[in-house]
Structure 1
Amino acid sequence: MTQRQYHGLVIQGRQTMHRSVFTRRDFLKGASALLATALPGQRLLAQTSAARRLDWNTFRNTRDYGSLVDGISRMRENTNASDKRSWAYWTNVHLNFCPHGIAYFLAWHRGYLYYFEQQLRAVSGNKALVLPYWDYYNTPEIPGEFTNPSPFNSLYLSRQNSNVIDALSLAPFAGTVTNMQRGLTNPFEVLMEDQPHNPVHNIIGSTMATMQSPTDPIFWLHHANVDRLWSAWQQAGGGRTTPSAGSTYWAGTFTYASRLTMQRSRTIDTRSQLSYYYQNETMPTSLPAAQTAQAGTGNFMLASMRQDDMALQLAQLGPRTSGAAPRLLARPAVADLAASPSRQISGSRLSVGGVLRIPLNENSISVKLQPDQASADLLQRTLGATAPQATGPYRSALVVLDSVRISGNGDMGGYFYHLYLDLPSSTDVSSANAYRIGSVGPFEIAAAEHRVHMRQDAGGSEPGTVTLTFALNRELSALVAADPRNVTLSFVRVSGNSAPGGEVIRVGEARLELSTETPQ
């Protein structure tokens, strides 16, 4: 069993990361007695006027800044993980109950921030204190107050990187994204979690790349920004819809501790139910322009940027600049790896081919998923223009990464991989999103490990591994149907200024599957 210590907090390392200081049962038992008498919830829940959560650049110049720093300091100094006034207590809430990669990711975290904010007010003694947010679409560098390594700075924690510019995307805010929940076409929740949420965790790295991410004070500002962006999307109009309060979608409650729950319907919006709003509630319309760092790299590094491989990396993905020149993305070379056969995975899923043992390191890589002729014919019948066939059981396609594990020193993050399907040999980065199906990094793996622990997922085929599944939309399914014998999967590495080299992730198998589920 491994342990890492962060300013007096002792939490478990990755090998046993699903166990916090207490087991889930112990945590619930302790929380039951503590929350009943001490949490200021019921008094503070009924605020008569809405509080305004401020952008960090505004907040740090207010009188509440001192209360925030003092409150965080007091909570981090409290090493009793069973005490709701401690920092570790709220990390354990996340470890024991947070949903990632499943429904209610946005709504559960909205309630989580809300209850944490109440506790921060109580510890600091400032009942007017609100959580600020970090608007990285405007300022992608972690605020300096969080990167000062002074031993007296309660906002500091060692991190791999501080700039998240290349973790950002405008995809969730496109006019075509009109559905909020999972299971529908272009769901905002899925797109928002996929990028920017997950890559921000990955690029910052260290504890932020794990389910123990609330240990890092920047976590709370990151999630306040995610909540803000969801609120902005909800208010933007243009056909964007959230299930109504009377929908069965909101039936039931979220659990944060045994006696700390919240009706799901309270998280529909921030103003009417939770009595707060944000300083800026508009969606971003552009990505921030990078400041030129070294040799014109624009702060974008595809890998570790050693002089001998700089040309290769910039050929794969050109630097971000403030000019109008396109950033070209070249499809990585195809690796010669062993193929896996077509086979029945379950009663509802059929593998139509894949490849085995994919090593992911500082270089980008492509692999060929080459179905045999019979599987290719089935793909065309299922995914083609006239599909789905009424006579066939399959209706949609998935890319599945099976038996995925962290390798070497990859668990500390500082990097992630864009995952593309049938990426052209060279394309403008702004157009590449049409071929993107998701991202892979230590945070996605940690979230999958968490789902296994919560018995929401069975895990990978090999012991101690996980499975990552990516549903193909109709456009990518049609692309597969057009040339089913030559399906290319590309892993494009994105690294911060500090990122590990060598193998960091091992994928046991990448395969293309047909599923009986309705296509998105």
Structure 2
Amino acid sequence: MISRRRFLQSSLTVALLPMLPKLAVSADLRVRQSWPAFCTGPTYPSLLYAVQTMRANKTSTDPASWEYWAIVHRYNCPHGKPYFLSWHRGFLYRFEEMLRQVSGDPNLVLPYWNYYDQPTVPAEFLDSTSSLYRGDRQGTDVYGALSMDPFAPEITNFVRYTGATDAFEPQVEMHPHNPVHNLIGGVMAWIAYSPRDPLFWVHHANIDRLWVAWLNAGGGRHEPATTASYWDGDNFYGKAVDSMPRVWTRNTTVKLGYQYDDETMPAGLPADPSPSATNASVASTEAFSLGGTTARPAAVGNVALGASKPLDLDENSISVQVTLTPQDANRVRSAMIQPAAVQPAAADSTGPVRVVLDGVDVSGLGKKGGYFYKVFVNLPQQGVAAREERNFLVGMVGAFEISVAQMKASMKGMQGMDMQAMDHMSASGGAKARLVFPATEALKRAWPDNLDQITVSFVRVDGRKRPTKGRVIHIDAFRLEADPAK
């Protein structure tokens, strides 16, 4: 077991450890490599040894155990909030140092999985004899999680704001971050347990790399000022490492002693490695393909604006038609013509028109993951190209998003408990989720010809060739809400 003193000492002297000058752009920095380069390099055995050793350590209060990091993530990660990226950068930084400590290899650096280059799970993670293996994964293809939306020229802001449509952090969290968790499935589909899967770490290293790449691309892209409140987030990683020096997680990663071997944004989506794995089964004869067009799926019923309807989601894509009275149409029209109130706000700010899912729960089948749904408003019947989906997209829903909402609900009853006490409680606490998706800006972009009806569509995306059939999500009350007209 590694002593706390040794952990702290090693963290304080990280800049003095041997470097990798042959790979580094700067000889003073470690380089996080892409997985194909890393797994053929000299430190790959050290990673395997460290993972095996940490997984064998059952003392969850020990940072040298695998479970310690899952518990820290469960109760501290700020999903759906400002400083989501900043918190995870510090999380990876500390975990990477522990990998070096456990392996005894000071040159070990956390690699990343660039699914924009290769969207299938690397073969080394599928070897059942390897410490990188997990048998609960439901999918091996994350092509359906990928999007170029976070890298669009107009995405120049960083932090989520009320009314803003140009913020990178919420865009990259919505996709590809969350859908990758969903499509892999197993523990990756649940916020409480996802760091138990070794894929978590190479996935999040890639998300961190995409942050670096986005900023490096220029074009007006910028982070908050050094003095901005964004950097004051609660970067807590458990009492066992609480006395470590505070790390500066702003994009100057050189201050953390590392860089990536590729710090450029994706130029486009890769070729779909398995089209049948990402095609949705739709409740209509209209074609759906991520690489071609997304067509509006068939409707399963009608509901008035503000009224609720129960929904079950299964292997099919569905739509719900929301009818508007003339008075309701005025309410929606009023929201559409109002200028966006661009100002700092809580992450759950949803705007004047919103899709609300109340009492959301996941079936036993759904808890396995391997799927998610894109939620659209007024998706055209004839379909749209993948690059145009953004005009109609309001959010995503899958096991991962639901687990985040359940965790937030259950955490309200855990105030004042220490991490170990909270860990004895159920990860979800039995709470049903409430998901709210802002729809105003999507309606503005689509700008319907008439407002007697708004259609909300749930388009299914799967991460394997043969999607499981059956109910995965139950929604007690689906509705579309609009604030009173001003």
Instruction: Classify the TM-score, shorter chain.
Output: 0.7 to 0.9
In structure 2, what is the equivalent of residue 492 of structure 1?
Answer: 459
**In the aligned structure 2, how far is the partner of 1:177 from the partner of 1:287?**
18
**In the aligned structure 2, how far is the partner of 1:97 from the partner of 1:449?**
14
Report SS of the residue matched to 1:494: strand
TM-score normalised to structure 2 length: 0.85
Deviations 1:327-376 (A, max 9, x none): 12221111125x36xxxxxxxxxxx4244101100011000122333222
In structure 2, what is the equivalent of residue 318 of structure 1?
Answer: 289
Matches within 5 A, 1:250-261: 250-251=231-232, 253-258=234-239, 260-261=241-242
In structure 1, what is the equivalent of residue 473 of structure 2?
Answer: 505
Report SS of the residue matched to 1:255: coil
Deviations 1:173-195 (A, max 9, x none): 00010111011332111110111
Report SS of the residue matched to 1:116: helix
Letter in 1 for 2:300: A
8 Å contact kept, 2:55–2:65: yes
**In the aligned structure 2, how far is the partner of 1:504 from the partner of 1:89?**
30
Q: Structure 1 residues 481 and 336 mapped into 2: Cα distance closer, same or farther (>3 Å)?
A: closer
Matches within 5 A, 1:460-479: 464-472=431-439, 474-477=441-444, 479=446
**293, 300, 311: which one pairs with 1:358?**
311
Segments ≥4 residues shifted beyond 6 Å: 262-265, 385-388
In structure 2, what is the equivalent of residue 23 of structure 1?
Answer: none
**254, 257, 261: which one pairs with 1:279?**
261
Report SS of the residue matched to 1:266: coil
Report SS of the residue matched to 2:58: coil
Q: Structure 1 residues 176 and 104 mapped into 2: Cα distance closer, same or farther (>3 Å)?
A: same
Unaligned runs of 5+ in 1: 1-32, 304-308, 321-326, 341-351, 389-393, 458-462
In structure 1, what is the equivalent of residue 11 of structure 2?
Answer: 42
**137, 158, 164: which one pairs with 2:142?**
164
**102, 106, 121: which one pairs with 1:127?**
106
In structure 2, what is the equivalent of residue 290 of structure 1?
Answer: 272
In structure 1, what is the equivalent of residue 92 of structure 2?
Answer: 113
Report SS of the residue matched to 1:378: helix
In the TM superposition, residue 213 of structure 1 has moved relative to its aligned partner by 0.7
- Asked if 1:450 corresponds to 2:412, the answer is no
Point out the more displaced range, 369-378 or 358-367.
369-378
**In the aligned structure 2, how far is the partner of 1:408 from the partner of 1:98?**
25
**198, 208, 212: which one pairs with 2:188?**
208
**In the aligned structure 1, how far is the partner of 2:60 from the partner of 2:222?**
40
Report SS of the residue matched to 2:128: coil
Q: Structure 1 residues 358 and 250 mapped into 2: Cα distance closer, same or farther (>3 Å)?
A: same
Letter in 1 for 2:29: A
**In the aligned structure 2, how far is the partner of 1:491 from the partner of 1:469?**
14
In the TM superposition, residue 106 of structure 1 has moved relative to its aligned partner by 0.8
Aligned length: 445
Greater relative contact order (CA < 8 Å, ≥ 6 in sequence): 2
**In the aligned structure 2, how far is the partner of 1:199 from the partner of 1:135?**
15
In the TM superposition, residue 41 of structure 1 has moved relative to its aligned partner by 4.8
Q: Structure 1 residues 124 and 488 mapped into 2: Cα distance closer, same or farther (>3 Å)?
A: same
8 Å contact kept, 1:161–1:204: yes
In the TM superposition, residue 385 of structure 1 has moved relative to its aligned partner by 6.5
Report SS of the residue matched to 2:269: coil
Report SS of the residue matched to 2:405: helix
8 Å contact kept, 2:360–2:473: yes
**In the aligned structure 1, how far is the partner of 2:128 from the partner of 2:284?**
32
In structure 2, what is the equivalent of residue 247 of structure 1?
Answer: 228
In the TM superposition, residue 83 of structure 1 has moved relative to its aligned partner by 1.6
In structure 1, what is the equivalent of residue 417 of structure 2?
Answer: none
Matches within 5 A, 1:339-378: 339=303, 352-378=305-331
In structure 2, what is the equivalent of residue 224 of structure 1?
Answer: 205
- Asked if 1:268 corresponds to 2:224, the answer is no
In the TM superposition, residue 230 of structure 1 has moved relative to its aligned partner by 0.7
Unaligned runs of 5+ in 2: 18-27, 342-349, 415-429
8 Å contact kept, 1:34–1:83: no
In structure 2, what is the equivalent of residue 382 of structure 1?
Answer: 335
Letter in 2 for 1:53: R
In structure 2, what is the equivalent of residue 409 of structure 1?
Answer: 365
In structure 1, what is the equivalent of residue 159 of structure 2?
Answer: 181
In structure 2, what is the equivalent of residue 237 of structure 1?
Answer: 218
**In the aligned structure 2, how far is the partner of 1:249 from the partner of 1:178?**
16
**In the aligned structure 2, how far is the partner of 1:478 from the partner of 1:228?**
30
Q: Structure 1 residues 316 and 505 mapped into 2: Cα distance closer, same or farther (>3 Å)?
A: farther
TM-score normalised to structure 1 length: 0.79
In structure 2, what is the equivalent of residue 193 of structure 1?
Answer: 173
Q: Structure 1 residues 110 and 385 mapped into 2: Cα distance closer, same or farther (>3 Å)?
A: closer
Report SS of the residue matched to 1:234: helix
In structure 2, what is the equivalent of residue 343 of structure 1?
Answer: none
**In the aligned structure 1, how far is the partner of 2:48 from the partner of 2:247?**
32
**In the aligned structure 2, how far is the partner of 1:209 from the partner of 1:399?**
23
**In the aligned structure 1, how far is the partner of 2:287 from the partner of 2:78?**
34
In the TM superposition, residue 428 of structure 1 has moved relative to its aligned partner by 3.0
In the TM superposition, residue 259 of structure 1 has moved relative to its aligned partner by 5.2
8 Å contact kept, 1:422–1:487: yes
Give the root-mean-square deviation of aligned CA atoms.
2.8
Q: Structure 1 residues 316 and 474 mapped into 2: Cα distance closer, same or farther (>3 Å)?
A: same
Report SS of the residue matched to 1:447: helix
Letter in 2 for 1:490: S
Report SS of the residue matched to 2:235: strand
**In the aligned structure 1, how far is the partner of 2:265 from the partner of 2:449?**
36
Q: Structure 1 residues 485 and 456 mapped into 2: Cα distance closer, same or farther (>3 Å)?
A: farther
Deviations 1:55-104 (A, max 9, x none): 01111111101101111111011122122111111111111211111111
**In the aligned structure 2, how far is the partner of 1:481 from the partner of 1:259?**
55
In structure 1, what is the equivalent of residue 375 of structure 2?
Answer: 419
In structure 2, what is the equivalent of residue 101 of structure 1?
Answer: 80
8 Å contact kept, 1:209–1:413: yes
Q: Structure 1 residues 365 and 264 mapped into 2: Cα distance closer, same or farther (>3 Å)?
A: farther
In the TM superposition, residue 480 of structure 1 has moved relative to its aligned partner by 6.1
Point out the more displaced range, 47-56 or 124-133.
47-56
Letter in 1 for 2:165: T
**In the aligned structure 2, how far is the partner of 1:36 from the partner of 1:200?**
36
8 Å contact kept, 1:416–1:442: yes
Q: Structure 1 residues 313 and 164 mapped into 2: Cα distance closer, same or farther (>3 Å)?
A: farther
